[in-house]
Amino acid sequence: MKGVAGFLRRIGAMIRKEFIQLMRDRVSFAAMVSIPLLQLILFGYAINTTPRHLPTAVLAYDNSALTRSILAAIENTKYFSITRHPVNEAEAEHLLRSGQVLFVVEIPAGFERAVRRGESPALLVSADATDPVASTSALAALGRLVETSVRRERFNLDDAPEGSGLEKAPPPFEFRTHPRYNPAAVTQLNIVPGLLGTILTMTMLIFTALSVTREIERGTMETLLAMPIRPVEIMVGKIAPYVMVGAMQAAMILGAAVLLFNVPVVGNLALLTVLTGLFILTNLSIGYTFSTLAQNQLQAVQMTFMYFLPNILLSGFMFPFAGMPVWAQWVAETLPLTHYLRMVRGILLKGATSADLVQDILGLAIIMLVAMVIAVKRFRQTLD
């Protein structure tokens, strides 16, 4: 009995000590509470693999009662949300390449007349098929749902008497869908370029987040601060090597993407290089900010992980961006990966130009500036 009592007493002492340490490490405690909450909210509310209300542009060369009811029927499917009305094809093309819309519906001139004449004209629907998950179910809904509803409303065909033959009449018009950029719906074409951004985010953040905390933990920071070197010089000196590491990683992933996964390079590689550099710098600045906030290396890793989670889930890497509720989209706009994914997919698959990506370039640059200012401000020259 005495042995058992001792056994329990020692275990009790150990448990007590662990709890005290656990409660004292606030960041660990915060991670324990916030990671499950974060996952619940993100997976539960934000993520939707059969996305609805996808942004759609309408290029209407014919404005008639019929086309209006077709557009209404398209929106009624809930899959589409008409957000843009471009005036010409060039503008429609830009919207598609920059990722502002996922679909362009083109109504040819004289459409209604052609229907009345029974010519069964075509509505052209171009889809951004880079992410097959986002576009496939919406496209499938088009023909069926829209046709039935327009038929019912405009031609009252459902009221046609049985056997009159009218309910089996040929459709008055047809949808001609054109899945662009990834017509074969190959998942890798979407995932592999995305991986470039994800891997860079992870490695760049971890390395820099550890770099300053390591110095503080080992006590070398005090000596460093007592030397005639400026905080900005320390920061640049610490970040520069990782820019090179990041560039090397990017080249490696890109090479593998092209050689192993047959990812096309439709756009300008030089533009991609410049923007990848911008993205790497942004991540390094954020990692550096974390390292000035964390008290030790463990906290730095925990912070990085907590930051990485929404990046993966909300940026459009794993799940369609357009399918998320508006609040989640706004959160995602503050994450560098969201912007970079549009850039890398846009350039590699769609041939996007800097003019197409100007919003994301600005977004990324703003995030980088904010992170850099915080990092420099947070990093103190003194131990105060």
Partner 1 sequence: MNAPAGAAGGVPSARHRAPDYAIDVRGLSKSFGTNQVVRNLSMQVKRGQIYGFLGPNGSGKTTTIRMLCGLLTPDQGTGTCLGLDILTQGRAIRRHVGYMTQKFSLYADLSVRENLEFVARIYGVPHADEAAREAIVALGLEGRERQLAGDLSGGWKQRLALGACILPQPKLLLLDEPTAGVDPKARREFWAQIHDLAAGGVTVLVSTHYMDEAERCHEIAYIAYGELLAQGTVESVVTASALHMWRVTGPDPAALTRELMETPGIELVAPFGTSVHVGGRDRAALDIAIARFAGREELVWRPDRASLEDVFIDLINRSRDNFR
3-state SS of the chain is CHHHHHHHHHHHHHHHHHHHHHHHCHHHHHHHHHHHHHHHHHHHHHCCCCCCCEEEEEEECCCCHHHHHHHHHHHHCCCEEEEECCCCHHHHHHHHHCCCCCEEEEECCCHHHHHHCCCCCEEEEEEECCCHHHHHHHHHHHHHHHHHHHHHHHHCHHHCCCCCCHHHCCCCCEEEEEEECCCCCCHHHHHHHHHHHHHHHHHHHHHHHHHHHHHHHHCHHHHHHCCCCCHHHHHHHHHHHHHHHHHHHHHHHHHHHHHHHCCCCCCCHHHHHHHHHHHHHHHHHHHHHHHHHCCCHHHHHHHHHHHHHHHHHHCCCCCCHHHCCHHHHHHHHCCHHHHHHHHHHHHHHHCCCCCCCHHHHHHHHHHHHHHHHHHHHHCCCCCC
Task: Label residue 370 exposed, middle or buried (CB < 10 Å: 0-12, 13-18, 19+).
Answer: middle
CB of 218 to partner 1, least distance (A): 7
Burial 55-88 (b: 16+ CB within 10 A, else e): bbbbbbebebebbebbbebbeeeebbbbeeebee
CB of 30 to partner 1, least distance (A): 22
Which residue's CB is nearer to partner 1, number 87 or number 226? 226
Which residue's CB is nearer to partner 1, number 74 or number 210? 210
Which residue's CB is nearer to partner 1, number 296 or number 353? 296
CB of 237 to partner 1, least distance (A): 10
Interface positions, 37-66, toward partner 1 (CB under 8 A)? none
CB of 53 to partner 1, least distance (A): 53
CB of 316 to partner 1, least distance (A): 40
CB of 239 to partner 1, least distance (A): 17
Q: Map residues 214-243 to x or -, x wherever contact with partner 1 holds by CB under 8 A.
A: ----xxx-xx-xxxxxx-------------
Which residue's CB is nearer to partner 1, number 178 or number 378? 378
Which residue's CB is nearer to partner 1, number 245 or number 309? 245
Q: Contacting partner 1 (CB under 8 A), which of 170, 184, 270, 384? A: 384
Q: How far apart are CA 99 and CA 107, in angstroms?
A: 21
The amino acid at residue 286 is: I
CB of 382 to partner 1, least distance (A): 6
Which residue's CB is nearer to partner 1, number 126 or number 213? 213
Which residue's CB is nearer to partner 1, number 141 or number 225? 225
Which residue's CB is nearer to partner 1, number 2 or number 24? 24
Which residue's CB is nearer to partner 1, number 38 or number 245? 245
CB of 221 to partner 1, least distance (A): 8
CB of 26 to partner 1, least distance (A): 17
Interface positions, 251-270, toward partner 1 (CB under 8 A)? none
Q: How many residues bind partner 1 (CB under 8 A)?
A: 15
Using the contact rule CB under 8 A, the part of the chain among 108-116, 197-205, 212-220, 360-368 near partner 1 is: 212-220
The two structure tokens encoding residue 283: 């991540």
Which residue's CB is nearer to partner 1, number 114 or number 225? 225
User: Does residue 162 bind partner 1 (CB under 8 A)?
Assistant: no
Residue 27 contacts residue 302 (beta carbons within 8 Å): yes
CB of 292 to partner 1, least distance (A): 16
Chain residues that interact with partner 1, rule: CB under 8 A: 218-220, 222-223, 225-230, 381-384
